[in-house]
Amino acid sequence: MEEGLVAVEKNPEAVRERSDLKKKAKTIQAAEGNEKRKSLMRILEEKKAMKKTSPLLANEQKRKREETPPDSFSDSDEDGGGVVPQRIYDELKLKYHQMQRKMQDLKQDAANSKEKFAQLNKSKCELELELAKYREANLSLQQSLDEVLKQLFSQRSMMSQVSEPVTKSTTLATSPNSESEPLQLPNTPRVLEKKDGKIHIGNEVWLREEVWNKIQATRKDSLYVKELAVAIWGSSELKQWSVSGKECPTKNTEAKPPLTPDRLGTLKDCFYRWLRAQDLEKAEVDRRSKLVGFFISQKIQDLNKKDKKNLEK
C-alpha cells in the first residue's frame, strides 16, 4: 500500500489529474447548490406573489391577529408591526365607556345622597324645635296640674276641718289623735260595750253586732267610711245632709244642712281606731284620717245620682 502511494506521488501527471478531478467536483457541487438556492428563491417569490394576489390574504391576516396573545404585539410588516391589535383596542374602548357611565352614575348618586342628607338635616332641625315646644308645653301643663291639685287638697283640708266637732264636750271623747281612753260620764255606756245584740260605738250610737263586724272586716278606707256612714245615718237620711253645709259653687241648689257633729265625731273616732289597728305609722294614720269628709261627700253624691236615675226610669 505504501509502495503504491509512493509510486503515485512520484508520478506528477497522476497528481494533476487527481487535483483536476477534485476541482471539477467542487465546481459541480457549487453549481448544484446555486441551482438549488435559485430554485428555492423562485418558489418563495411565487408563494409571496400568490399570497398578495389571493383574496384569502385578509382572512389570513385577521386569523393571525386573533391568534396573537393580548399582551403581545405583531412584529410582521403585514400586520403593521408595533401596533395594538384591533380586538384589544375595541375591548379597551368598550371598558373605558363603561367606566365613564359608572362614574356618571356614581356622581348622580352622590348628588342625590347630598340632597337627601340636606332634607334629613332640615327635618331633624324641625323635629328638634317641635320637641322643644312639646317639652315646654309639658312643663307648663305639669305646673298647672300641680296648682290644681294643691287647690283641691287645700279645699279637702278645709272641708275636713269644718266638719270636725266644735268642742270636745259634744263628742264626750278625747281627740282622735290621742292615745288615752275617752272621757266617760256617769250612767253612760262605754265604747264598744255590747247589749242585746248591739254594740255601742260612741255618743249613744248603737249598731247591730253583725253590721259592725262586717264593717270592721273591710280593708279599704273609702269603703269603711261609706258603709259606717250609712250604718249610722241610713241612706234615706244621709242623702239629705252635707259635710260642710255650704252651697256647691257649680250648681244652683240650696245648701243642705251639715251632718250632726256628735255622730260625725263618732265616725271619725271609729275610723281612727280602725287605722291604728293596722299597725300603720302615726303620720300615715293622721294623713288618711283627714279624708273622712271627702269619702262621705262621695257617698252622698252616689245616693243622689241613684235617686235621679230611678226618677228618670
pLDDT tens sequence for the chain (313 residues):
555 555 545 577 777 888 888 888 888 888 888 888 888 888 888 888 877 776 555 555 656 666 555 544 444 444 444 566 888 888 898 999 999 999 999 999 999 999 999 999 888 888 888 888 888 788 778 777 777 777 776 666 555 555 444 333 344 444 444 444 444 555 567 888 888 889 999 888 999 999 999 999 999 999 999 999 999 999 888 888 888 766 555 555 666 788 888 999 999 999 999 999 988 899 999 999 999 999 999 999 998 888 888 887 6
pLDDT per residue as tens digits for the range 271-296: 999 999 988 899 999 999 999 999 99
Alpha-carbon distances, residue 66 vs 81, 85, 90, 230 (angstroms):
15, 8, 13, 114
The CATH number of 168-312 is which of 3.30.300.280, 2.70.98.60, 3.40.630.30, 1.10.10.2590?
Answer: 1.10.10.2590
State the pTM of this model: 0.41
Q: Pick from 215, 226, 213: which is nearest to 294 by CA?
A: 226
Size of the chain in residues? 313
Sign of the alpha-carbon dihedral angle for 94, 95, 98, 99: negative
Residue-by-residue DSSP string for 102-131: HHHHHHHHHHHHHHHHHHHHHHHHHHHHHH
CA distance 88 to 121: 49
Q: Extract the C-alpha cell encoding 101.
A: 357611565
Domain spans of the chain, in order of start: 168-312
Q: Which residues of 294-303 are buried (b: 16+ CB within 10 A; e: fewer)?
A: bbbbebbeeb
